[in-house]
Structures are given as C-alpha cells and as structure tokens.
Structure 1
Amino acid sequence: MLEPSSQPQDYLTSLTKPPPAPPPTKPNRFPSLISSRPALRVTSEFDSDSRVFFHKVSCKLFDDLAKLKLSFVNSVKREISEPLLALTSKHLSIHYDPEEQNALIKSSFDVGPKLHFKAAHDVKAKLGEVAMIANLADPGYAVELSSPVPYVGLPKATIRFPTGEVTLEEKEEEEEVPRKLLINGILKGPILNGVGAAHYTDEELKLRYSYKDGALSFIPCISLPSNAVSFAFKRRFTLSDKLSYWYNFDSNGWSAVYKHTFDRDFKFKAGYDSEVRLGWASLWVGEENGKARTAPMKMKVQFMLQVPQDDIKSSALMFRVKKR
C-alpha cells in the first residue's frame, strides 16, 4: 500500500501546471525596415502609334512609409530614354531626371490645426516656391500666400470661398514698365435650374451655363471681349448609349462623339472632328479611366481606327496595351 506524500498540496499542484510563458519581446522595428524585401510592381504600356513601350517599376519601402518608382521609355530598337526616378512619401517627394541631372523636390506638412505649408525647389534652375495656406473657421474658406524663391515682388494671394476664388498677383511684362497687379477669379452658383460660372483670367471673361438632368445636358459659353460663342449638347438615350455634340460659332467647327458601354470593362466610342477633318472609332477593353490592376487579367487594351476625310487611304489602326 502506497503511503501518502509528505509534500504539501501546493507543491503537488505546481508540478502539474505548465511553466509560465516568457514575457513577449518587443519587435525591433529598425531591422525589419532594412531586411524586409519590398514587393515590386511592374506596369508596361505599348503605343502602336509612337511604337514605344512605357515601363514603370514601383515598390513601397519602410513599411509603406515611402514609395520608390522608376519609369522609362523603351523603343522597338531597345533604346531607353526619358528615365525618371521618384521617391515619394507623405511629406516629401523627390523626382530625379538622370538625363538632365536635375531634381525637383517638393514638401508639404501641417504647421497647426488650420495652417499648412508647402514648398517646391528645382535644383538645376535654382528656383522654387513656398506657400502658406490658412483654413478659416467656416468650411470652404481659405487664404493662400505664395512667393517664388528667390523672392521677387509681392507674394501671390488667393482667397477661396464656397462659390469660387479670387487671385491677386503682380506681373512684370517689360523691364522699363512698372509691375501691375492682376486679378483673376472664378465665381459660380445656381441659376435657372442649372449652374452658372464666370472665369476671369488674363483680362478675358468667360461666361458658362450648364443645365443637366437625367437625360439631357446643355452647356453654352461666351468669351468677352472676343465674343466667341460655343455650346455643347449631350443626350443620353439609354444607360448604355450617349451622344455628345460641340459647336463653335466663330469657326463653324464642330465635333460629335457617340459612346456605347457594354459593361464596366468594355466601351465603344466613335466620333468626328471637323477642324482636323478626321473620323475615328475606338474600343476599350478595361475601364477607360481606371487602372490596369482593376481590369480583367490586370490589362487594359485600346484599339483606335483613324480615317482622314481628305485621304482615306492613309487610315491607320492603332492600339495601346497596358499590363500590370
């Protein structure tokens, strides 16, 4: 017969419990930023008209704190040109051109809750610009002061409000003529069930009215003092069919575009431009304004047929392919 153990009960319980787990160690963030291998993303695009390839290689660095991108053009003769190296982050971006041996540096950050600073500098030209943007208490109101570097004259001032913006800027036309103050601005608001807009730039006023409902859009426009008049007309027949028409009264030039959407990734467009006397038709495989990564097989394709009115024999079929 076994005798009962003389050890206390707490001692026996401690023998059956697993040993305590060691305290968790904090990961060393710095080595992970160096040793982790970034994932490369390669995008290639071919244009049959210029017969060149556009390549872009990008990757994210430092746990997505920055992005490195290399882009260049490759001809059918395997000649590389227009290289561009860019390093971008939330507050700083550097674009370097190896052929020009020049860099463009941009920076932006918040100085306070409602104050934002941004700057740009061209290393080779030794020119830049600094700007300070202040957001006021009411939403939609802001004041921006910007000045070139080296400093020349008064800073450029822009006042933004919900219905537009006004810009005051000094401009020097000739050395002997004193600098004058230019006022440019945009003003827009609801008028007659539509939206009216006035653009004043370089002493030219452009008045534009836009009416739009579920099936019809009408956009007349007049420029002063040139009195140039034009209008655009858009008609949607179904959810898939749409016709756009533009006419210029001064030159009697006009253009028309018909668009048929099969679904999100297939679109057909055809049009004519009287100024260049050219008819064309194009077919998009992949969303026209979307990215290649959202298209089927991560590839966008555009086929375009151009037919000159004066010389039909010189018609050309072109295509563009963008693969990611």
Structure 2
Amino acid sequence: MADAKSISQSIAAPSPTTRADGFGGFLQIRRPKLRVTSEFDSVTSVFLHKVSCKLLDKLPKLKLTFHNDSKGQVSVPQVSFVSKFFSMHYDVEESDALLKTSFEVASGFQVRAAHQVKAQQGEVSMVADLAGPAYTVELSSAVPSVGLPRATFKVPIGEISLEEKDDDEAEEQKKTLGVSGILKGHILNGVCTAQYNEDTMNLRYAYKDEQMTFIPSLSLPSNALSCVFKRRFSSSDKLSYSYYFDTDNWNAVYKHTVGKDYKFKAGYDSEVRLGWASIWVGDEEGKAKTAPMKMKVQLMLQVPQDNIKSSALMFRVKKRWDI
C-alpha cells in the first residue's frame, strides 16, 4: 500500500499530460476556416473566385474576390472586411474604398453612414422608431450636403419619401419637392399595391391561393397593362404565363421540380422569338452550401425561332470548398 507522502505528492503535482493540455489550450490559436467559391459562366468564359474567412471567433469576415479568364489573367480584385458595425470594400485596381458603418445610438435610434474615399462623397442616415419598429422615420443626407435631407416615413401599409430635386424644365435653376412612395392593402382576398415615383404610377393587384396566382398590373400615364397568370398542377409542376397588352408580347414558363435540388424549366419569349430549356442541379435561389456536393449546375439550351441553326448550349457551374 502506498504511504501518505506518495499519495499527497501525486495529488499535488499535475501529470505532464494535464499540464501540457491546460497550458497548450490557453495558447492554442485555431486557424480560421476558409470558404472558397468558384463560378464559371460559359457565356463570358470567365471564372469568378471568392475566398472568405471569419476571424476572432466568427465576428468579422474577410473576403477576397477576383475574376480569372481562360489565359489565367486576374482582374477586378477586391478585398472586403465586414463586421457587425463596420465594413470596408477595397477595389485594388482603382485604389478606391467604400466604407460603411451602422450603429444604434439609443433604443430605437440608429445611425448609418457610407463614404466613397476617392470621390470624397457619402451619405449619412438616421432612423428613429416612432411607435415601435413598424412606424419609423428616416432622414438621409448626402455628404457634402447639397440640399435638404431626404425624409422617409414608414408605416405598416407602406412608405412615403420626400426629397428636394432640381427642376430641369424651369428656365432658372430652382428646387422642387419630389414625392415617391408605395402603399399596400388587402382587397378582395388579394393585395393591392400602388407605387408612385417621378410622375409615374404603377397599380398592381395580386391574388394567390394554393393552386392559382393572378397578377394584373397597370402603369400610368402610359396605360401599359400587363397580366401574369400562374397555375400549380401539383407540388412539383407549375405553369406561368405573362401577357403585355401594349406590345402584344407574351412569355410562358413551365417548371418541374424534384425535391429542392433538381429543377427543369422550359419557356418561350415572343419579344425575342426565343425558346429555351434549362436544368438546375441545386436550389436555383439558394447557395452552393446547401446543394448536393456543395455544387450548383445549370444547363440551358436556347433555340431562336428565326434561325434554329444558331441554337446555343450554355452552362453555369458554382462550387464551394470548406478548407
């Protein structure tokens, strides 16, 4: 049996493994994981590469993007640093940077600012909650200032913006008040939207249920009327049709999906007299991270109606690696 002295020494003196693990764990610095994404479009024959990593326990993100052609030449390199309150986008070729910041001064009061270094121009915005997040007012001003700030009022049914503009039609230079905005409301089991901008009004009504979507739209004062009709035959088959009354142009698209990662689409556009069909591997609207093997592929065949011999087969590939 071991005596008391040996037992006390074994308890007091940590083992080499314990000491190394504790000290090594304190100084251990893990290499940030790299995410590399490459895209290729057969139309331009140019690769787009993105390399990014998250630093300091995943708080800020560092990203490098650049293009690469068939000759191996690198172009349009850009470096970005993005964090919660500050971001910088640096254009290497232009030696120019776009700086952005956003922070909350007090509860319900936020300040946003952007600055283009080379042009020495930017914008400062202040957003304040009036009666909760659904009711806000935003004041935006260019830097250096050229007039009164733009005011935007947001409510649950839409928003309206007031901005000072130059009157180009006046003989003498003077300022006018420009108004733009959008309003939404529920009418007849659908959503009616009125959008106004620079003397142009767009009226849109959207009705949607489990099987059908109907969207007529009217632009004023041009009186351009269009209509979109969508019919869902099953959970995987859908047909959409659009018609423009002012030009008599129309287009139709049929879509068949298998799960969320495989999609077949075919359509025709009367304006350019072109028929096409495409196959997607990977969610068309999603990211490569969620696609099988972290890769998205699109194959598209375009067949001009006037010259079938000039048909073209195009493809796009996007692949992601986590290193």
State the TM-score, normalizing by the size of structure 2: 0.90
Confirm whether residue 235 of structure 1 aligns to residue 235 of structure 2: no
Which residue is equivalent to 1:298? 294
Cα distance between partner residues in 1 of 2:135 and 2:142? 24
CA shift at 1:140, angstroms?
A: 0.7
Is the counterpart of residue 43 in structure 1 residue 55 in structure 2? no
**CA displacement, residues 97-123 of structure 1 (integer Å, 9 cap, x when unaligned):** 111111000000111111001000000
- Residue 188 of structure 2 corresponds to 192
Confirm or deny that 1:160 pairs with 2:160: no
Whole-Å separation in 1 of the counterparts to 2:190 and 2:24: 59
| Structure-to-structure mapping, 1:116-131, within 5 angstroms | 116-131=110-125
Greater Rg by CA: 1
1:249 matched to 2:245: yes
Partner of 1:114: 108
| Separation of aligned partners in 2, 1:267 and 1:166 | 39
- After TM superposition, the structure 1 = structure 2 runs for residues 134-283 of structure 1, keeping only pairs within 5 Å, are 134-174=128-168, 176-283=172-279
Percent of residue pairs identical: 61
Letter paired with 1:162: P
Question: 1: distance between equivalents of 2:55 and 2:119?
Answer: 30
* Offset at residue 16 of structure 1 (A): 4.8
Aligned match of 2:126: 132
What is the Cα deviation at residue 20 of structure 1? 5.4
| Matched AA of 1:177 | Q
Distance 2:54 2:13 in 1: 36
Specify which of 59, 68, 80 is matched with residue 65 of structure 1: 59
The alpha carbon displacement at 1:37 in A equals 2.1
**Higher RCO (C-alpha 8 Å, min separation 6):** 2
**1:41-94 Cα shifts (integer Å, max 9, x gaps):** 111111111111111111111221211111111111111111111011011110
Give the letter for the 1:298 counterpart.
K
> Where does residue 19 of structure 1 map in the other structure?
11
Say which SS state the counterpart of residue 309 (structure 2) adopts: helix
- TM-score normalised by length of structure 1: 0.90
Selected match of 1:84 from 78, 89, 96? 78
Aligned residues: 309
The amino acid of 1:113's aligned partner reads S
SS at match of 1:19: helix
Question: Partners in 2 of 1:83 and 1:164 — Cα distance?
Answer: 39
- Runs of 5+ unmatched residues, structure 1: 1-11
Map of 1:288 onto structure 2: 284
Q: CA shift at 1:26, angstroms? A: 10
Closer, same or farther: CA 301–106 of 1 in aligned 2, 3 Å: same
In the TM superposition, residue 135 of structure 1 has moved relative to its aligned partner by: 1.4
1:53 and 2:63 correspond: no
Q: CA RMSD in A?
A: 2.1
- What are the superposed Cα offsets for residues 154-210 of structure 1, whole Å, 9 maximum, x if unpaired? 000000000000100011144932110011111001001111010011111111100
Instruction: Give the letter for the 2:90 counterpart.
Output: Y
Classify 1:26/1:244 alpha carbon distance in 2 versus 1 (closer, same or farther; 3 Å): same
Separation in 2 of the partners of 1:244 and 1:178?
47
Q: Relative to structure 1, is the Cα distance of residues 13 and 90 closer, same or farther in structure 2, using a 3 angstrom cutoff? A: same
Aligned-pair CA distance for 1:320: 0.7
